[in-house]
Amino acid sequence: MKYWKKLSENGIRTRIARALDQNVDYRNKTILGVPASHLDEKVFYGNAAFLKDAPFLSTMIHNPNHIGCHTLGESESFFAGTQEIEKELISLIAEDILNGSADGQDGYVASGVTEANIQAIWIYRNLFIKEYGANHDEICIIGSEDCHYSIPKAANLLNIKLISSKVDHNTRSVNKESFSKSIEEANSSGAKYFIVIANMMTTMFGSVDDVSMMSDVLKSQQIRYKIHVDGAYGGFVYPFSCKDNKLDFSNPEVSSITLDAHKMVQAPFGTGIFLCRKGLIDYVFTDEAAYVQGLDATLIGSRSGANAIAVWMILMSYGPHGWYEKIHILQFRTDWLCSHLEQKSIPFFRQPFSNQVSIESNYVSQELAEKYGLVPDTHDGKPNWYKIVVMEHVTVDVMAPFVEELEDNKKKLKGES
């Protein structure tokens, strides 16, 4: 581990205080040209004594703007201290968690994976247009039907086609024949350049795509492509639960990866991570942002530095070994749930390295789903599945009564005595 080392509470506070000292101080320095300031002191009191022991809240009060992508070099100098922490966070995730090469990736803390997925597709659309003279109707996004809704949103925003490959109902996987057929049909209708979405744990099922199969098919058909990994759920789980991870930067087929820190990391909502190999983010530089030091290559533009600080604080509080232990505790709880569902002959889907379990809706009444906060695969009509995500608060003590009620519910639904 190059960047990820567990820090004490005092070590975290000291580092963030030092970073804030390196940022602009609107109170003690005359700043006339920046359309920003600390949070309004009529509402948010900035001199409260407790703030010295609350680095995240203190960062919010200071209100640093992390506009731009700090791994590229030059950024807004007014916020250099906290931007450096974000840069370290990006290196930590890209290199220490996702096996990237030293200084081989760019990235930033986005508003979430919806933005980050759109950022990736935007990059590849522009790459195909600039490098190969592609027309919009020659560019195609392809992924499984279990892909996140941000993918069709990106297709709509960027005016490019989207093809969804069917998945097996029970395994939630895209088979080679289905994927190959989807590529052939798109190619025959004029698609020449493919943006491939590979899932590292889908939103509904926690299923993981076979990226090696995908790249083999694309190569066999001599297709130009870029592979983007959507790790919204799995980015902070799968690399720790699966030793044979093909969905990281050690795989040369993978060009970009996104993660959501506001899911498994329990950071504030509006906190995603976008990562890509060096040179790719250059395709979305906004030259018109000339007044921004270092220009801007992000979809969102201005963004709060506090969210980056929050993720850094959480990961540094755990350290790599503490995080590994946390994920394996969640795996143990998920194993417990699955073993009890098997004992009671209740069908479910679980990717072996995932902390998500999806139960067929035929075994779950609406009342039971509402009581335990289960999430359906659709709110439009009758669901096919209900999912459980084993998080920090989802302990065995919480799941045990649910499993018992689920068995009783099964008997009622099946007309058993």
- Ranges of beta strands (E only) in 254-382 are 254-260, 272-277, 348-349, 356-360, 375-376
SS3 257: strand
User: What's the whole-number mean pLDDT along residues 399-416?
Assistant: 84
User: What's the whole-number mean pLDDT along residues 247-267?
Assistant: 97
How far out from the chain centre does Cα 171 lie?
23
Number of helical (H) and strand (E) elements in the chain, helices listed first: 11, 11
Looking at the DSSP bridge assignments, the partners of residue 19 are none
What is the Cα–Cα distance from 350 to 348, expressed in whole angstroms?
A: 7
pLDDT for position 97: 98
Q: Which of 67-71, 103-107, 295-299 has the weakest average pLDDT? A: 295-299
At the topology level, CATH places domain 319-413 in: Aspartate Aminotransferase, domain 1 (3.90.1150)
pLDDT tens digits along 289-342 = 666 777 789 999 999 999 999 999 999 999 999 999 999 999 999 999 999 999
Looking at the DSSP bridge assignments, the partners of residue 164 are 143
Which strands sit side by side in the sheet containing 193-199, from one edge to the other?
105-110, 272-277, 254-260, 224-231, 193-199, 139-144, 161-165
Buried-state track 47-67, b at ≥16 Cβ within 10 A, e below 16:
eeeebeeebbebbbbbbbbbb
Q: How far apart are the first and last CA of the chain?
A: 57
User: Is-contact 361 376, C-beta < 8 A?
Assistant: yes
What is the Cα–Cα distance from 194 to 153, expressed in whole angstroms?
A: 17
Q: Over 80: is that where the pLDDT of 29 sits?
A: yes
27 pLDDT tier (thresholds 50, 70, 90):
confident
Q: Taking the CB of residue 287, how many other CB atoms lie within 10 A of it?
A: 7
Which residue matches tokens 């009444």? 365
pLDDT tens digits along 149-188 = 999 999 999 999 999 999 998 889 998 998 999 999 999 9
Structure tokens at 200: 């590292």
Q: Over 90: is that where the pLDDT of 10 sits?
A: yes
Q: Over 80: is that where the pLDDT of 413 sits?
A: no
Q: Do domains 70-303 and 319-413 have the same CATH topology?
A: no
pTM: predicted TM-score of the whole model, two decimal places = 0.95
- CA Rg value for the chain: 23
pLDDT tens digits along 268-289 = 999 999 999 999 999 998 877 6
378 pLDDT tier (thresholds 50, 70, 90):
very high
Domain ranges of the chain: 9-64, 70-303, 319-413
Q: Over 80: is that where the pLDDT of 96 sits?
A: yes
Q: What percent of the chain has pLDDT above 90? A: 83
Domain at 70-303: CATH architecture: 3-Layer(aba) Sandwich (3.40)
Q: Quote the DSSP letter at residue 100.
A: P
